[in-house]
C-alpha cells in the first residue's frame, strides 16, 4: 500500500491520470513517470479482468497507487478488483445515498460490509498478510464515488456522509452532459453544481476529486480545495505524442521535385 488515503487525510493534493488502453506496459511507463496515483478504467477502457491483474503487477514497483474504476457498484465487481490488489475503487454514476452505501459495503468485510472473504488472493499476499490487510482496510483502501448525475446532486449531503465514502469525484463530462451544457465547465450551472459538491464534502469532512482536460487548470482546482486531480491518460499521451511527431516530420519533408522525362 502506498498510503494515498492517509495522504489525502493529511491535506495533500495528489496528481494522477487515467489508464484506458488496457496495457500493462503503458501502466508501467505511466506509473514510473511521477504521478501519485493512476486510475485503471474498466468502465470505458479497453482492458478486462485478466489484463487488470497484469497492470496491477506492473504498477507494484512504481510510485503510483492504483485505483480501479469498476463498471457498477455491485459488490462482486468491487471485491474482485480489491482482491487483485487495488488500493482504491471508484464507482461511476452513483445516483443516491443508498447506492453509495452499497458501494461502500462492497469494500469492507462483515460486519462493516458485505465483501466476500478470500484469504488466498493477491491483496493479502496469498494468505501471508490476511490479518494485517483485513484490519487495515478502513485506513488503507480509498472509496471513491463519482458525482455525475442530476440525481446525485439532490442527495449530496447524504452521499458525502456515507461511511466508507472517502472522495466525491466530479465527472465533468457526464455531469455537464446531465446538466444539458456538455463541455461548458465555465457555465453557471456547472459552477453551481461544483460549489454544491465541494460544500457537501467539506461538511462531511471528505475529500473531492476531478478529471481536468487542461493541465493549466490544475492550480485553479487545487485552490478550490480539490485534492485528487487527474489529467490525461495513456491513450492521450500516445495519441498526442504520435501526432506531434508525425506533424514535425511532415513539416521537415522536402518538397518532391517532378521527375524529368
Residues labelled catalytic = 44
Query: Which residue matches cell numbers 492521450?
Result: 236
- Per-residue cell: 230: 487527474
Helix axes 75-83, 97-107, angle to 10 degrees: 30
Interatomic CA distance for residues 44 and 233, integer angstroms:
12
Residues 6+ apart with CB under 8 A from 114: 75, 105, 106, 108
Cα–Cα distances (Å) from 156 to 68, 159, 193, in that order, read 23, 5, 10
Hey, what long-range contacts does 98-101 have (CB within 8 A, 24 or more apart)?
A: 99/73, 100/73, 100/145, 100/158, 100/159, 100/162, 100/165, 101/162, 101/163, 101/164
Query: Which residue matches cell numbers 491518460?
Result: 233
Cβ pair 23, 50 in contact under 8 A:
no
- Collapsing DSSP states into helix, strand and coil, what is residue 245? helix
Interatomic CA distance for residues 75 and 89, integer angstroms:
11
Q: How many CB atoms are closer than 10 A to CB 258?
A: 5
Amino acid at each position: 500500500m502506498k498510503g494515498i488515503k492517509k495522504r489525502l487525510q493529511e491535506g495533500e493534493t495528489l496528481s494522477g491520470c487515467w489508464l484506458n488502453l488496457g496495457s500493462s506496459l503503458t501502466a508501467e511507463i505511466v506509473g514510473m513517470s511521477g504521478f501519485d496515483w493512476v486510475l485503471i478504467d474498466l468502465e470505458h477502457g479497453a482492458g478486462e479482468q485478466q489484463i487488470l491483474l497484469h497492470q496491477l503487477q506492473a504498477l507494484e514497483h512504481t510510485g503510483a497507487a492504483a485505483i480501479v474504476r469498476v463498471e457498477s457498484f455491485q459488490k462482486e465487481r468491487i471485491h474482485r478488483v480489491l482482491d487483485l490488489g487495488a488500493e482504491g475503487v471508484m464507482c461511476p454514476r452513483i445516483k443516491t445515498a443508498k447506492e453509495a452505501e452499497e458501494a461502500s459495503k462492497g469494500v469492507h468485510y462483515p460486519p462493516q460490509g458485505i465483501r466476500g472473504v478470500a484469504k488466498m488472493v493477491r491483496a493479502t499476499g496469498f494468505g501471508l498478510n490476511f490479518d494485517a490487510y483485513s484490519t487495515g482496510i478502513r485506513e488503507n483502501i480509498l472509496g471513491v464515488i463519482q458525482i455525475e448525475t442530476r440525481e446525485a446532486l439532490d442527495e449530496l449531503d447524504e452521499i458525502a456522509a456515507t461511511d466508507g465514502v472517502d472522495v466525491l469525484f466530479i465527472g465533468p463530462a457526464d455531469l455537464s452532459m446531465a446538466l444539458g451544457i456538455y463541455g461548458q465547465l465555465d457555465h453557471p450551472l456547472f459552477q453551481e453544481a461544483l460549489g454544491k459538491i465541494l460544500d457537501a464534502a467539506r461538511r462531511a469532512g471528505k475529500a473531492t476529486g476531478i478529471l481536468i482536460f487542461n493541465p493549466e487548470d490544475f492550480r485553479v482546482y487545487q485552490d478550490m480545495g480539490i485534492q485528487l486531480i487527474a489529467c490525461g491518460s495513456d491513450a492521450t499521451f500516445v495519441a498526442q505524442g504520435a501526432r506531434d511527431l508525425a506533424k514535425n516530420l511532415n513539416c521537415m519533408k522536402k518538397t518532391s521535385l517532378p521527375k524529368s522525362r
